[in-house]
Structure 1
């Protein structure tokens, strides 16, 4: 029975060490940083421009769609680059080529769907 809980003890000690590390880092930061809050420093920062109006702003859904499309194609690149480096190796022939074309086909269908729905139109 002691061997069973030994693994949990190690995990628990690592978790405690991680929490202590974060607590010490935040404590050291609070003690070492200068603190001189002024009304000017407490204003919201908006790219160097003084804030105008209330703090709540609405964002159009199309920007989320563009971000989602970017994430999809970034994931595509994450899969394409390692595949391209392994493809030239021995034993990675027609099967890996077909698998990559199937993957790219799924992405093409998604892009076609987005194009047909008008997501790619900048209005």
Structure 2
């Protein structure tokens, strides 16, 4: 799942409303994980049985290409406790941008710059 960072608050509003209605959980003070000027990868998952086959790399490369077609750098957060994922991202050209916190987790904000 990915989206233009400029749409973060509009997209998040629906989640926040549903979380409050269904679970009485208030997520109105969540940190922003992206911003205008980047195409943000919100979620990527590969079933365990299919891992180590290059699927994530293919999906990420397509994501990078799509971001570039929009004239935006690709961006994502990676949990500091997940060095394997960070190695994958950096092997595909993502670079460290800054530290972030999301959902109480220490994260790294990575960016794949436009060429």
Do they fold alike, i.e. is TM over 0.5?
no
Structure with the greater relative contact order (CA < 8 A, sep ≥ 6): 1 or 2? 2
**Greater Rg over alpha carbons, structure:** 1
TM-score by length of structure 1 reads 0.22
Name the structure with the higher helix share.
1
Q: Normalization by structure 2: what TM-score?
A: 0.23
Bigger proportion of residues as strand: 2
